[in-house]
A and B are shown apart, each in its own frame.
Chain A
Amino acid sequence: MSGMNLSIPINAKTCHKELPAALLPRSSSKRARGKHDPGMTQPDNNNVNEQDLSQAEMMRLLVIVGRERKVEAFEMLFRHYSPRIRSFMTVKTKDRQVAEELMQETMVAVWNKAAQFDPARGNVSAWIFTIARNIRIDAYRRKRPVFEVDDPAFVPDNMPSADMEFEQAQDAGLLRQAMETLPAEQLDVLKRAFFDDVSHSTIAQELGLPLGTVKSRIRLAFEKLRSALEGRR
Chain B
Amino acid sequence: MNINHHLSDAFLMDYAAGNLSEGWSLAVATHLALCPTCRRQMEAMEGAAGALLEKMPVEAGASDDSWEQMKARLGGLQAIEIKPEPAREAPKPAILPEPLRSYVGGDLPDLKWRALGRGAYQILIDTGDKHTQVRLLRIPAGKPVPEHTHEGCELTLVLAGSFRDGEALFARGDIEEADDTLLHQPIATEGEDCICLAVTEAPLKFTSWIVRLMQPILKI
B-binding residues in A (CB < 8 A): 10-21, 23, 25-26, 51, 69, 71, 74-75, 78-79, 81-88, 100, 103-104, 107-108, 111-112, 115, 122-130, 132-134, 136-137, 142-148, 150-159, 171-172, 175-176, 179, 190-191, 193-195, 197-200, 214-215, 218-219, 222, 225-226, 229
The residue in A128, A134, A145 that gathers the most chain B C-beta atoms within 10 A of its C-beta is: A145
Answer whether residue B73 sits at the interface, using C-beta atoms and an 8 A cutoff: yes
Cβ B77 vs Cβ A23 within 8 A: no
**29 contacting pairs across A/B (C-beta < 8 A):** A14-B153, A16-B179, A21-B8, A23-B7, A23-B41, A78-B66, A104-B73, A122-B47, A125-B54, A126-B50, A128-B50, A128-B53, A129-B52, A143-B127, A147-B30, A147-B97, A147-B98, A148-B33, A151-B98, A152-B91, A153-B94, A153-B101, A154-B97, A155-B173, A175-B51, A194-B48, A198-B19, A215-B8, A225-B48
Pick from B36, B44, B99: contact of A155, CB below 8 A.
Answer: B36
What CA separation (Å) do A110 and B54 show in the bound complex? Answer: 16
Cβ A69 vs Cβ B78 within 8 A: yes
Cβ A104 vs Cβ B37 within 8 A: no
Cβ B17 vs Cβ A15 within 8 A: no
Interchain nearest-CB distance for B22 vs A (Å): 4
Interface size of B by CB at 8 A reads 89
Cβ A23 vs Cβ B97 within 8 A: no
Chain A residues whose CB sits within 8 angstroms of the CB of B217 once the complex forms: none
What CA separation (Å) do A156 and B97 show in the bound complex? Answer: 12
Chain B residues whose CB sits within 8 angstroms of the CB of A190 once the complex forms: 13, 48-49, 52
Chain A residues whose CB sits within 8 angstroms of the CB of B177 once the complex forms: 16, 19-20
Known: A115-B82, A144-B22, A158-B36. 10 other contacts (CB 8 A): A13-B131, A14-B152, A74-B74, A112-B77, A154-B98, A176-B51, A193-B13, A197-B18, A215-B10, A219-B8
Pick from B37, B47, B131: contact of A12, CB below 8 A.
Answer: B131
Cβ B29 vs Cβ A147 within 8 A: yes
Interface residues in B149-179 (C-beta closer than 8 Å to A): 152-153, 173, 175, 177, 179
Chain A residues whose CB sits within 8 angstroms of the CB of B118 once the complex forms: none
Interface residues in B120-135 (C-beta closer than 8 Å to A): 127-129, 131-132
Chain A residues whose CB sits within 8 angstroms of the CB of B14 once the complex forms: 13, 193, 199-200
Answer whether residue B112 sits at the interface, using C-beta atoms and an 8 A cutoff: no
**Do A145 and B74 form a contact, CB below 8 Å, given A23-B6, A25-B40, A83-B59?**
no
Closest to A13 in B: B24
Cβ A122 vs Cβ B43 within 8 A: yes
Interface residues in B14-36 (C-beta closer than 8 Å to A): 14-22, 24-26, 29-30, 32-36
Interchain nearest-CB distance for A174 vs B (Å): 9
Closest to A81 in B: B53
Cβ B20 vs Cβ A84 within 8 A: no
What CA separation (Å) do A130 and B49 show in the bound complex? Answer: 9
Cβ A218 vs Cβ B10 within 8 A: yes
